[in-house]
């Protein structure tokens, strides 16, 4: 017979109070300030008629760009990823939080740099559709995180049952999705500021 842990009633009331007293007001507070924020003002006018995009080289393919751009950010943090996985799945202590913050700064810088380089190559190839492409490309390191998670599961963990495997890959999928959104957002904003900077320097008669 399996006994399920009982959650005390005061704990449930405290969690509800935290949800309705902290989380819910912050949602509406963010909505209020976001609704009042002025839209972004582009430095130049855009043409209403989309121009024809020339044929692109093979290395400008979206999937090739994702694979190329994801190597550098992943290489900056894959050692730290091993310690994080060990702390989560092997019950080991993790105490290198200062080094983790340093790795996060390196990750932000590398994502920004690779995103700016990729959008520069794309604009030089006269392809102006860089918004979503840049978001996907700068988040390409999440693919390597997923590959490393599968490698870690096969070589480091002794999990053979279905439910623990489902739990592992479920949490891994959430982590990879969050990492993709994080790195994609960092890369997009870096590229957006770069594009605004270079087009603001354009002199229009």
Predicted pLDDT of residue 203 = 63
Q: Residue 98 is inside which H or E element, if any?
A: helix 97-124
| Token pair 């290489």 in the structure block, residue | 75
Q: pTM of the prediction? A: 0.77
Q: How does pLDDT run across 40-78, given as a tens digit for each residue?
A: 777 777 777 777 777 877 777 778 888 888 888 888 888
Q: Model confidence at 204, in pLDDT bands (50, 70, 90)?
A: low
Distance, in Å, from the CA atom of 81 to the CA atom of 89, rounded to the nearest integer, reads 12
Output the CA torsion sign for 171, 174, 177, 182. negative
> What is the chain's alpha carbon radius of gyration, rounded to the nearest angstrom?
22
- Round to whole Å and give the CA distance between 145 and 16: 35
Q: Give the span between the Cα atoms of 36 and 192, in whole angstroms.
A: 21
Whole-angstrom CA distances from 99 to 83, 95, 96, 158 are 11, 9, 5, 29
Q: Torsions phi, psi of 163, nearest 5? A: -65, -50
Higher pLDDT, 173 or 96: 173
What burial letters (b/e) apply to 103-129, b meaning 16+ CB within 10 Å?
A: beeebbebbbebbbebbeebbeeeeee
C-alpha span between 144 and 73 (Å, rounded): 10
Task: Note the pLDDT tens digit of each residue in 22-49.
Answer: 888 899 999 898 888 887 777 777 777 7
């Amino acid at each position: 017979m399996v006994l399920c842990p009982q959650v005390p009633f005061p704990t449930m009331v405290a969690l509800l109070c935290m949800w309705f007293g902290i989380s819910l007001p912050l949602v509406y507070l963010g909505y209020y300030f976001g609704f009042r924020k002025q839209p972004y003002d582009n430095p130049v006018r855009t043409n209403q008629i989309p121009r024809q995009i020339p044929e692109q080289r093979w290395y400008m393919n979206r999937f090739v760009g994702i694979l190329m751009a994801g190597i550098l950010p992943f290489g900056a943090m894959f050692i730290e990823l091993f310690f994080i996985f060990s702390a989560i799945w092997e019950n080991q202590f993790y105490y290198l939080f200062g080094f983790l913050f340093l790795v996060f700064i390196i990750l932000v810088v590398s994502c920004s740099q690779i995103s700016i380089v990729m959008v520069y190559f794309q604009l030089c190839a006269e392809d102006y559709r860089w918004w979503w492409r840049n978001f996907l490309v700068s988040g390409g390191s999440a693919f390597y995180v997923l590959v490393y998670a599968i490698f870690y599961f096969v070589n480091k963990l002794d999990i053979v049952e279905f439910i623990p495997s489902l739990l592992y890959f479920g949490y891994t999928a959430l982590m990879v999705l969050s990492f993709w959104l994080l790195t994609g957002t960092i890369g997009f904003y870096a590229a957006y500021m770069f594009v605004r900077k270079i087009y603001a320097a354009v002199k229009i008669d």
